[in-house]
Amino acid sequence: MRVNHYVMVSCLVFGILVNIYVIIRLNIGVNIFEYLQKIQNLNLVPKCEIDMDNLLNFIDNRHFLELEEKEMRKETAVHEKTIQTMLFAFPGAGLGNKLFEVISLLGIAETLQRSPVINATNPDYVSTLSKNIQPIFPKLVEQFQLKIIPFTAIAHEHTNWGACCKFDNPAKFINRSEQHIMLDGHYFQSYKYFHHMRPKIREWLAPSKLTAVRAEILLPAKHRDDLIICTHVRRGDFQYDGVHQPSDATFTRAATDFLVEFYRTENYKFLQETNGTRYNYTLPTVSPLYTAVLTPTLTPEIDLGFSRLFCDVTLITAPSSTFGWWLSYLSKRKSTTYYRDITESKDGVIGEMREEDFYPPEWVKLKTDQFGRISSF
């Protein structure tokens, strides 16, 4: 249907312009008679649903959404020995980079059985913690000790030095006897630093109730039970910094369509299996396959909350985007993540990345062939 195509493309173009997130809803699992009825009603045209004006007005009237996360008892093992990292990206970088540094510090501290410490006399650290992190993730900030430790009492080591995304195993410091160790290094962008404590990370980074409500109202209620594919689009600074590659429209569109097709087929099979009767659920070709919903860019924590509440599948189209990475890592519990092959996008970060250190092994890499078709590795 031409109109669907047109609306979809405008959604994508708009999304790419303002760095927002495209949500795709699949019309599946609905039986063919409902389809025919809906087609007759002509109500199935995909819409760009951006409720900017009314969005925040609704908030006060909404019921609060309880997250299903269980409250886990915090084991407060306080170690006498301490560990710090340089927090190189802390003052200027975006939330994705900040999260990698603090969460990696926590993971390393647990690996080394030391207390994670942040230098309380460094004004950049303290202001970042209090302005950028504490208001949205108060539990996260409780995991550190803010301390003043004399410079001369600290043993310095280089690790994860000079490259963002190569795991430098901290276990090599496990037998060090010094009371205080500082790991001088940059970015610490590898899930291997902290993957062993993922359930706790999800707890610390759970959205507040207000954030969850704000995220919840971005998706119209009628779509909440659908399969939601979240395509993260990142342009902005990535277009101009000479290192990163922004999302490109061709890949974004093709990869999104690829996933829609994949999950449509998957679900088709699934339906056949659950209901022993053999029904032919092939969708009529005239029906739209999905509805695109755009979420406006409000704040990063609302995007993270959205992903956690709704995203069954995530797609990272700018392969070095750390924010796209966190949106995926924190998405729904049983979600699946796809990402663009970084060698294909010519992203400059590849020189600093070992792919197996940056992307968890269960995430699926997508490549484009010479005809523009997408497939998974």
Ligand X SMILES: *[C@@H]1O[C@H](CO)[C@@H](O)[C@H](O)[C@H]1NC(C)=O
* Dihedral sign (CA 150, 155, 158, 164): negative
Q: Does 154 bind ligand X (CB under 6 A)?
A: yes
Backbone angles phi, psi at 157, to 5 degrees: -135, 145
State yes or no: residue 156 binds ligand X (CB under 6 A): no
Write down the least CB distance from residue 340 to ligand X, Å.
32
Q: Which residues contact 276 (CB under 8 A, 6 or more apart)?
A: none
State the residue for tokens 């690829």. 258
Our finding on whether 280 is near ligand X (CB under 6 A) is yes
Q: Determine, following the binding rule CB under 6 A, whether residue 64 of this chain makes contact with ligand X.
A: no
Shortest Å, Cβ 171 to ligand X: 6
Residue 175 in the binding site for ligand X (CB under 6 A): yes
Q: Which of residues 94-153 bind ligand X (CB under 6 A)?
A: 119, 121-122, 149, 151
Q: Which of 222, 277, 346, 361 binds ligand X (CB under 6 A)?
A: 277
Contact stretch for ligand X (CB under 6 A) within 159-167, 273-281, 297-305, 333-341: 273-281
Minimum distance from residue 172 beta carbon to ligand X (Å)? 5
Least distance to ligand X, CB of residue 266, Å: 16
Q: Is 242 helix (H, G, I), strand (E, B) or coil?
A: coil
Closest Cα to residue 159, out of 60, 88, 240, 234? 88
Structure tokens that stand for 44 in this block: 């199935």
Q: In angstroms, what is the minimal distance from the CB of 99 to ligand X?
A: 21
Contacts with ligand X by CB under 6 A: the residue count is: 14
For strands 374-376 and 364-368, give the pairing: antiparallel
Which of residues 132 and 169 has its CB atom nearest to ligand X in the complex? 169
List alpha helices for the chain, DSSP H: 2-18, 32-41, 52-58, 95-112, 123-128, 138-141, 198-204, 209-216, 249-274, 300-310, 322-329, 342-345, 355-358
Nearer to ligand X, 67 or 271 (CB): 271
CA distance 328 to 339: 10
65 lies in the site for ligand X, by CB under 6 A: no
DSSP H or E stretch at residue 115: strand 115-119
- 256 touching ligand X, by CB under 6 A: no
The smaller minimum CB distance to ligand X, of residues 242 and 284, is found at: 284
Instruction: Tell me which stretch binds ligand X (CB under 6 A): 130-138, 241-249, 257-265, 275-283.
Output: 275-283
Beta bridge partners of residue 367, listed in sequence order: 375
Q: Residue 243, interface with ligand X (CB under 6 A)?
A: no
φ, ψ of residue 259 in degrees (nearest 5): -70, -40
Among residues 9, 13, 18, 174, the one that binds ligand X under rule CB under 6 A: 174
- Under rule CB under 6 A, residue 56 binds ligand X: no
Q: Which is closer to ligand X, CB of 42 or CB of 171?
A: 171
Residue 130 vs 275, nearer CB to ligand X: 275
Q: Are 228 and 313 in contact (CB under 8 A)?
A: yes
Distance CA 128, CA 126 (A): 5
Closest distance of CB 215 from ligand X, Å: 34
Residues that bind ligand X (CB under 6 A): 119, 121-122, 149, 151, 154, 172, 174-175, 275-277, 280, 282
